[in-house]
Amino acid sequence: MQARNAADLPDLVTLDDVALVQLSRERNGDAFRIIMQRNNQRLYRVARSVVQDDSEAEDVVQQAYVNAFDSLGKFRGDSSLATWLTRITLNEALGRLRRQRPMVDLEVLDAEPPAHPRSSRFP
């Protein structure tokens, strides 16, 4: 296989999002890297506003990029790429919040309430 030099590659930085998505669908890592660079700050801010933790926000963004890369074939272009990535990030952040909610043991709910001495004062 013949090695390609820089002159053989398009200047990816100048490409629009649609072209970068197409190259990323073809597993061009450099194209996806540019997509990430263009959207990192926005996606981090969205994630951070939901999860309220810097480290968790970084994890959310990382997972959102994995999800996006796996789903590039589903990107139809009905919205901008930034909007699509933001939605994926928001869904990931909200999903993490749902998984972190405190759980209530149903057996505790089924147990009889404790008798309160004051309860006899009120009819």
Chain centroid offset of residue 9 CA: 30
> pLDDT (tens digit, 9 = 90+) per residue, 42-85?
999 999 999 999 999 999 999 999 999 999 999 999 999 999 99
Write down all domains in the chain, each with its CATH number in brackets: 40-100 (1.10.1740.10)
* Of the candidates 68, 29, 66, the residue with the CA atom closest to the CA atom of residue 12: 29
Prediction pTM value: 0.73
> pLDDT (tens digit, 9 = 90+) per residue, 85-99?
999 999 999 999 999
Chain centroid offset of residue 71 CA: 12
Backbone torsions φ then ψ of 58, nearest 5 degrees: -60, -40
Q: Is 34 left (phi over 0), alpha (psi -120 to 50) or beta?
A: alpha
